[in-house]
Amino acid sequence: MAKMSPLLMTLLFIVLSSMMMNQLPVASSKKWCVATPTATEKQLGDNMEFACAIGVDCRPIMPSGACFLPNTTLSHASFLMNSYFQSHDQTDHACYFFFPDSSIITTTDPSYDRCIYPSH
Ligand SMILES: *[C@@H]1O[C@H](CO)[C@@H](O)[C@H](O)[C@H]1NC(C)=O
Any alpha helices (H) in the chain, and if so which ranges?
6-23, 41-53, 73-87
Q: What is the pTM of this model?
A: 0.78
In the predicted model, what is the mean pLDDT of residues 77-105?
95
DSSP state, residue 54 = T
Nearest-angstrom CA–CA distance, 86 and 80: 10
Phi, psi of 113 (to 5 degrees): 45, -120
Instruction: Give the pLDDT score at 31.
Output: 97
* 64 ligand 1 Cβ < 6 A: no
pLDDT at 94: 95
Helices (H), 24-87: 41-53, 73-87
40 band by pLDDT with thresholds 50, 70 and 90: very high
Look at 24 and 80; give whichever has higher pLDDT.
Answer: 80
Q: Mean pLDDT over residues 81-86, rounded?
A: 97
Instruction: Give the Å distance between the CA of 76 and the centre of ligand 1.
Output: 12
